[in-house]
């Protein structure tokens, strides 16, 4: 079976317009699709209560055709929301996006000027056999951790990997 990269991630949101604004205005995604969802096929596919409806908005970065974020507001919402996952909870607790075309420091400064509150300020993280990445984290409007990372150059990653392989030989 040939499985590719993640096509999209579906996020249930409490306030669809607030989430659209965050992913658009803070992270730079663009809205590419806005559609109502309903019917027995959807209910079966997502194990929804009969009669549940939803509105789905697809947000994309750049010109990508995969790696989209699907923001979904369900009607009626669940009786008892579980809240966002945290590290250690089974399930998805974080979305990580690579910063391209500018430095993480530049992105950090721009978001700080917009009043974004960060969980962690930019820091260097050494990854054995890969090199050093720069990372920061914040939360989306529903408390999902958003990690922004700047990867080492391909040459740097290859050099560190080769050194790691030679050291282990």
Say whether both 126 and 150 belong to one domain.
Answer: yes
Say whether both 52 and 122 belong to one domain.
Answer: no
Comparing C-alpha atoms, which of 86, 43, 127 is closest to residue 135? 127
Structural domain total, the chain: 2
Say whether both 28 and 73 belong to one domain.
Answer: yes
Give percent helix, percent strand, percent coil of the chain, each to the nearest 5: 25, 35, 40
For residue 148, count other CB atoms closer than 10 A to its CB: 21
Condensed to tens digits (0 to 9), the pLDDT of residues 100-142 reads: 899 999 999 999 999 999 999 999 998 887 788 999 999 999 9
Go through 47-77 and write b for each residue having 16 or more CB atoms within 10 A of its CB, e for each that does not.
Answer: ebeeebebbbbbbbbeeeeeebbbbbbbeee
Q: Are 103 and 112 in contact (CB under 8 A)?
A: no
- Structural domain boundaries enclosing 36: 1-81
> The tokens of 140 are what?
């989306």
Average pLDDT value for residue range 145-160: 88
Count of alpha carbons within 13 Å of 81, Cβ hemisphere only?
A: 12
Q: Who's near 96: CB < 8 A, 6+ residues apart? A: 146, 147, 148, 149
Condensed to tens digits (0 to 9), the pLDDT of residues 16-58 reads: 999 999 999 999 999 999 999 999 999 999 999 999 999 999 9
**CATH code (residue 96):** 3.10.180.10
Report the chain's mean pLDDT, rounded to a whole number: 90
């Amino acid at each position: 079976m040939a499985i590719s990269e993640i096509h999209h991630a579906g996020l249930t949101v409490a306030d669809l317009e607030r989430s659209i604004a965050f992913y658009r205005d803070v992270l730079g995604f663009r809205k590419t699709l806005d559609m109502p969802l309903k019917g027995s096929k959807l209910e079966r596919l997502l194990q929804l209560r009969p009669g549940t409806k939803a509105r789905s908005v697809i947000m994309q970065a750049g010109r990508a055709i995969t790696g989209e974020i699907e923001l979904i507001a369900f009607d009626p919402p669940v009786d008892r929301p579980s809240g966002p996952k945290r590290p250690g909870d089974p399930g998805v607790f974080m979305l990580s996006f690579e910063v391209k075309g500018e430095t993480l420091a530049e992105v950090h400064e721009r978001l700080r000027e917009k009043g974004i509150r960060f969980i962690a300020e930019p820091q260097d993280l050494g990854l054995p056999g890969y090199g050093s990445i720069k990372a920061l984290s914040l939360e989306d409007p529903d408390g999902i951790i958003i990690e922004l990372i700047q990867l080492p150059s391909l040459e740097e990653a290859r050099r560190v990997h080769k050194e790691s392989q030679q050291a282990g030989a």
